[in-house]
Amino acid sequence: ATVVTAWQQQAPTAEIEWTGSNATVTTTLRQHAALNATLQELLNAVTSSDATSTTPDGSIRTRNFQIKAERATIGQLIDFFREERIRIELIDKDSPEVLAILSESVQLDTLGERQPGSKLFPLIFGTHFKRVDVQDDRVVLSRE
């Protein structure tokens, strides 16, 4: 309902048709871009507030994960986990050193079996960050 309200306020002439949980919006290209930006802001706000709570399946430390990726960068993996509502905190995220780490490649073909987060996240990020602190509700990565 929040999305529809925001859209109706921003583009009252837009036509919104629903099929289940999918919406089809008919409007001008300019309004469509504005509505899409509004949707992204709302999704980011929901993701940010959801990310502060415990993950849907309980503690990250004990939750089992299985991942396989070829030629993925550290930044892509962090984005993937965030999309899966796993909160990843980067200490000094804007420093040149951390920005360089985000573009480093990692090969995960050896991590095909399910592992608890307490083991998986240090395996993925441990060679790139000095500290990988796996907590119940987040993973903290630090170079120090």
More confident residue, 103 or 9: 103
Give tens-digit pLDDT for 43-91. 666 544 444 444 545 788 888 887 777 778 899 889 888 888 889 999 9
Q: What is the CATH number of domain 64-142?
A: 3.55.50
Question: What are the structure tokens assigned to 45, written together?
Answer: 């706000």
132 and 118 in contact (C-beta within 8 Å)? no
What is residue 53's predicted lDDT score, i.e. its pLDDT? 43
What is residue 128's predicted lDDT score, i.e. its pLDDT? 92
Mean pLDDT value across the chain: 80
What is residue 130's predicted lDDT score, i.e. its pLDDT? 94
- Local confidence band at 96 (pLDDT 50, 70, 90 cut-offs): very high
CA–CA gap between residue 46 and residue 69 (Å, rounded): 27
Q: What is the DSSP string of 39-77?
A: HHHHHHHHHHHHHTSPPTTS-TTTSEE----SSEEHHHH
Give tens-digit pLDDT for 22-48. 778 888 877 877 877 777 777 666 544
All CATH 3.55.50 domain ranges of the chain, comma separated, are 64-142
